[in-house]
Chain A
């Protein structure tokens, strides 16, 4: 018999909110260590150039300057999946904004003054800015040494002698003949520009090199153990000699996954006789020195039968990786195995290529490539529906994955995996899909409706794992140690609920330590991929059971009954059918002491762990295999209004449905969806890097790169959750953190077509782009 849930599923407020509303929450931004120095950077003004010389003599003479480093001092290559990046540029610069020289000084003013005194001489090279150009046989190579780079072998397939960092292939059925024999065919191209994560706390790190090279790092990171591992590998240190602290983190969205500023602050400290060195990225550096989301150029070909069955799908995804692809290669991989949308397609062919260019480099970003590929897929699906004369929702219903279908990588889909059709139906109802938009009384304002599907699985190595330790306190409360990071998404609160549920104590008695510290917090791979509540939740369930097993063993000895007769509830262990025989957890947490002083047991410490189950590498030639621990499905439907005089677009309503498996905390999950939808709105309407012809980023500030403000949110946002239990998920839950932003642009693009009769293929949908399209449409039809 399953116990009714008391804490899981409740709208519990977040545990960290009091620290955050009082200013008591300390971020690395706020952190200082005794004797700490401050670092500043000299950045490349060129997108591509040879470094001819660096003259730092004048800077070295400035009092208070403690260390100056260039790439010549640092002969190491770094990276998570592909080791292609140096700590500081060495010999060449590959994007404007790349760090070339770093200075550590007594304060930031001195460090910046020193940077101004450093003369770097460059010999500029013609940059490669367009992935299509980068693919030409005669294109200059961004990484001529690609053949020598270490990378995760068997998973990623760089093509030395080209600018291709990874080529992911998906092959199922026979696309060519299915496409040739299709009743209807279409070929379309789509574009997404690179965008920035814009965490409100920019990247920040403090490094200290202890004697004999031991490293201690404080970092605004999503990845304490990954930082530890990569630092130890890079500098030849044992893992135990690298200690990583992650306190409160001011937003991440993927941009703080993997490795960031940590190696640089460590080597600066090493050069500055071991004094701690702090480096906080300026907002401009956050845009053009730290990583962004990759751009994407898609070509999509669809074939369908006249009765509305999607018979052939082909996509070419050209990812604009920028100068480095250490993380980007995995986006090219993950977005390919999800690259046909949540549809049943017998004949599928995808080439996903991650291409080096001389732009600021890409990394993980909430949605991990799925927003980008589904911008094309979901727009193409709508256009095929229109060609067929079918309702776009009906066309989707006909083709969505259903029980017994096989995905494009050969996984069997069962209804237990989630309910994409249910998500579609839910948003269609919420937006009153069957009824066209009511026309505005103002003839300049036109309205339209659109919808789009989304799906995503965690993109992670096959061996991804998580672990936790629960210590019972003297008073019967519990401390949870875990090293996944809660940078705002709320996972710690959810894990606290799970610990309270499983330990059978009130949630107020459970504490999760906010500062992760690899010296004390047990291993977790990194906090990405919407997998922390799933894996951490399972680990906590196991750790709590371990605690209760220890409690039961001692209680059984005290009462002289078999262990299986001891039950735990309400913070007490008692004998079944004899509830008067009971002990509180407080009496057992450190061991039980008899009246005569004899003691048994000992401090109760439980541990739990979870490792990804049954994942396989994908076949290099066909992409067949099992890449996904689980899939989360969802849909958005929107109603918009466009001002045809200005091109401005207003979202009147957006309804979002996600199959969460089990809603663990209804309050926090709504916050995730609203936040994700508005972030998706940014990608849809405003956000995108602009470069000049020399490859210089033109909009590295909030004035020139607009993110949504309080004035820009939709008039109404509705969130709907389906609960098809996930096999293996804690209480049937699956991840939903990234998903809300995926396909928001697609739904809006589809609604624009409904409103204006114009097809849009390029993001963002700025007023300028919309107005120009209206004008050229008018000219074309005049």
Chain B
């Protein structure tokens, strides 16, 4: 058991966690942030993607103790005052959501990209979500949604 302090979606958190607890388990079971999903548990599907210090990572492969001192963002941190982010709205508008199980991870991978560049190439968009499996949409609408969000953000409206 170890004590960790970290920031999750802007809120300070302190907890005693078992050494073997993954960040995903910490987020879902301790903080009841169930947006991040476990689709495989071994880092192969991307459903558990969250941002740690601004980088998209598979939270099922990271231990909670490794997140000590880090800033973590989950899909629940995308909305501000109950208002959807540009990225979330773009997913809705593009028809990029079907069953929705991959969607939180997909949005966090996209957010990780948009934190690096608001002018991504098509290749960069595809690369950013290449580790996020989706069985419903065929990806085309997801790629379009990220492109559209980047365009809107580059033009400087919203977050």
Output the residue of A248, A667, A702 with the most chain B CB within 10 A. A702
Contact yes or no, B135 A701, CB < 8 A: no
A724 to chain B, nearest CB (A): 25
A27 to chain B, nearest CB (A): 7
Contact yes or no, A668 B95, CB < 8 A: yes
With A20-B97, A708-B139 known, 19 other A-B pairs at CB within 8 A are A13-B92, A21-B75, A23-B33, A24-B35, A26-B34, A30-B28, A30-B34, A201-B101, A251-B99, A671-B98, A674-B141, A707-B133, A709-B130, A709-B139, A710-B129, A710-B132, A710-B134, A710-B142, A713-B138
Is A717 in contact with chain B by the CB < 8 A criterion?
Answer: yes
Whole-angstrom CA separation of A17 from B91 in the bound complex = 8
Whole-angstrom CA separation of A677 from B141 in the bound complex = 13
- The proximity string for B residues 69-84 relative to A, scoring 1 for CB distances below 8 Å and 0 otherwise, is 0000011101100001
Contact yes or no, A675 B137, CB < 8 A: yes
Which one of A235-243, A482-490, A584-592 is at the interface? Answer: A482-490
27 A-B contact pairs sorted by A residue (CB < 8 Å): A14-B92, A16-B97, A21-B84, A23-B33, A23-B35, A23-B36, A25-B100, A26-B34, A27-B101, A29-B38, A198-B135, A200-B45, A248-B100, A283-B41, A488-B99, A488-B136, A677-B138, A678-B138, A678-B140, A702-B40, A707-B133, A708-B139, A709-B133, A709-B139, A710-B132, A710-B142, A711-B130
Whole-angstrom CA separation of A23 from B104 in the bound complex = 6
Is B8 in contact with chain A by the CB < 8 A criterion?
Answer: no
CB-CB under 8 A from B88, the residues of chain A are 21-22
* B127: nearest chain-A partner, CB-CB: A711
Whole-angstrom CA separation of A535 from B45 in the bound complex = 35
User: Which residues of B in the span 119-159 have a Cβ within 8 Å of any Cβ on A?
Assistant: 126-127, 129-143
Residue from B99, B129, B130 in contact with A200 in the complex, judged by beta carbons closer than 8 Å: B99
Contact yes or no, B47 A710, CB < 8 A: no
Whole-angstrom CA separation of A671 from B78 in the bound complex = 24
CB-CB under 8 A from A711, the residues of chain B are 126-127, 130
Contact A23 to B76, CB < 8 A, known contacts A200-B39, A674-B140: yes
Contact A488 to B37, CB < 8 A, known contacts A198-B135, A670-B95: no
* B137: nearest chain-A partner, CB-CB: A675
Contact A200 to B135, CB < 8 A, known contacts A675-B98, A702-B45: yes
CB-CB under 8 A from A200, the residues of chain B are 37, 39, 45, 47, 99, 101-102, 133-136
CB-CB under 8 A from B79, the residues of chain A are 22
Q: Which A-B residue pairs are the 3 nearest by beta carbons? A: A23-B35, A20-B100, A250-B101
CB-CB under 8 A from B19, the residues of chain A are none
B24 to chain A, nearest CB (A): 12
CB-CB under 8 A from B98, the residues of chain A are 251, 488-490, 671, 675
User: Which residues of A in the span 186-235 have a Cβ within 8 Å of any Cβ on B?
Assistant: 197-202
* A673: nearest chain-B partner, CB-CB: B138
Whole-angstrom CA separation of A750 from B133 in the bound complex = 28
Is B13 in contact with chain A by the CB < 8 A criterion?
Answer: no
Is A451 in contact with chain B by the CB < 8 A criterion?
Answer: no
CB-CB under 8 A from A23, the residues of chain B are 33-36, 74-76, 104
Whole-angstrom CA separation of A671 from B135 in the bound complex = 12
* A671: nearest chain-B partner, CB-CB: B95
B92 to chain A, nearest CB (A): 4
Contact yes or no, A21 B33, CB < 8 A: no
CB-CB under 8 A from B49, the residues of chain A are none
* B36: nearest chain-A partner, CB-CB: A23
* B125: nearest chain-A partner, CB-CB: A710
> Which DSSP category, helix, strand, loop or mixed, fits chain B's interface?
loop
User: Which residues of A in the span 89-137 have a Cβ within 8 Å of any Cβ on B?
Assistant: none
Whole-angstrom CA separation of A251 from B45 in the bound complex = 14
Is A731 in contact with chain B by the CB < 8 A criterion?
Answer: no
B70 to chain A, nearest CB (A): 19
Contact yes or no, B140 A713, CB < 8 A: yes
For the complex, count residues of A whose C-beta is within 8 A of B: 54
Is A72 in contact with chain B by the CB < 8 A criterion?
Answer: no
Contact yes or no, B95 A703, CB < 8 A: no
Residue from B34, B74, B103, B134 in contact with A20 in the complex, judged by beta carbons closer than 8 Å: B103
Whole-angstrom CA separation of A708 from B95 in the bound complex = 19
For the complex, count residues of B whose C-beta is within 8 A of A: 51
Whole-angstrom CA separation of A582 from B110 in the bound complex = 51
Is A33 in contact with chain B by the CB < 8 A criterion?
Answer: no
Residue from A13, A675, A713 in contact with B136 in the complex, judged by beta carbons closer than 8 Å: A675
Whole-angstrom CA separation of A23 from B134 in the bound complex = 16
- The proximity string for B residues 13-42 relative to A, scoring 1 for CB distances below 8 Å and 0 otherwise, is 000000000000000100001111111111
A267 to chain B, nearest CB (A): 25
How many residue pairs, one in A and one in B, have C-beta atoms under 8 Å apart? 162
* A680: nearest chain-B partner, CB-CB: B138
Contact yes or no, B99 A250, CB < 8 A: yes
Is A282 in contact with chain B by the CB < 8 A criterion?
Answer: yes
Contact yes or no, B99 A282, CB < 8 A: no
CB-CB under 8 A from A29, the residues of chain B are 34, 37-38, 101
Whole-angstrom CA separation of A487 from B99 in the bound complex = 5
Give the A-binding residues of B (Cβ under 8 A). 28, 33-42, 44-45, 47, 74-76, 78-79, 84, 88, 91-93, 95, 97-104, 107, 126-127, 129-143
* A712: nearest chain-B partner, CB-CB: B139
Whole-angstrom CA separation of A713 from B126 in the bound complex = 10
Is A249 in contact with chain B by the CB < 8 A criterion?
Answer: yes
Contact yes or no, B95 A251, CB < 8 A: no
Whole-angstrom CA separation of A27 from B102 in the bound complex = 12
Contact yes or no, A717 B140, CB < 8 A: yes
Residue from A198, A250, A709, A717 in contact with B100 in the complex, judged by beta carbons closer than 8 Å: A250
Contact yes or no, A22 B136, CB < 8 A: no
CB-CB under 8 A from B95, the residues of chain A are 13-14, 667-668, 670-671
- The proximity string for A residues 691-727 relative to B, scoring 1 for CB distances below 8 Å and 0 otherwise, is 0000000000111000111110100010000000000
Whole-angstrom CA separation of A707 from B46 in the bound complex = 13
User: Which residues of A in the span 647-689 have a Cβ within 8 Å of any Cβ on B?
Assistant: 667-668, 670-671, 674-679
Contact A21 to B130, CB < 8 A, known contacts A490-B98, A713-B140: no
Is A18 in contact with chain B by the CB < 8 A criterion?
Answer: yes
Is A391 in contact with chain B by the CB < 8 A criterion?
Answer: no
Residue from B47, B100, B135, B137 in contact with A16 in the complex, judged by beta carbons closer than 8 Å: B100
Output the residue of A251, A490, A668, A670 with the most chain B CB within 10 A. A251
Contact yes or no, B139 A713, CB < 8 A: yes
CB-CB under 8 A from A709, the residues of chain B are 130-131, 133, 139
Whole-angstrom CA separation of A250 from B28 in the bound complex = 17
Contact yes or no, A201 B37, CB < 8 A: yes
Whole-angstrom CA separation of A108 from B88 in the bound complex = 33
Contact yes or no, A678 B38, CB < 8 A: no
CB-CB under 8 A from A707, the residues of chain B are 133, 135
Contact yes or no, A701 B130, CB < 8 A: no
Contact yes or no, B140 A18, CB < 8 A: no
Whole-angstrom CA separation of A676 from B88 in the bound complex = 24
User: Which residues of A in the span 20-48 have a Cβ within 8 Å of any Cβ on B?
Assistant: 20-27, 29-30
CB-CB under 8 A from B74, the residues of chain A are 23
Is A324 in contact with chain B by the CB < 8 A criterion?
Answer: no
Whole-angstrom CA separation of A649 from B74 in the bound complex = 37
Is A174 in contact with chain B by the CB < 8 A criterion?
Answer: no
Contact yes or no, B135 A14, CB < 8 A: no
Is A253 in contact with chain B by the CB < 8 A criterion?
Answer: yes
Residue from A22, A198, A490 in contact with B75 in the complex, judged by beta carbons closer than 8 Å: A22
Contact yes or no, A251 B91, CB < 8 A: no
Whole-angstrom CA separation of A25 from B101 in the bound complex = 9
CB-CB under 8 A from B92, the residues of chain A are 13-14, 17-18, 21
* B108: nearest chain-A partner, CB-CB: A23
CB-CB under 8 A from A701, the residues of chain B are 40, 42, 44
* A705: nearest chain-B partner, CB-CB: B44
Whole-angstrom CA separation of A679 from B142 in the bound complex = 15
Contact yes or no, A678 B93, CB < 8 A: no
Is A19 in contact with chain B by the CB < 8 A criterion?
Answer: yes
A96 to chain B, nearest CB (A): 20
Whole-angstrom CA separation of A21 from B84 in the bound complex = 9
CB-CB under 8 A from B129, the residues of chain A are 710
CB-CB under 8 A from B101, the residues of chain A are 27, 29, 199-201, 250-251
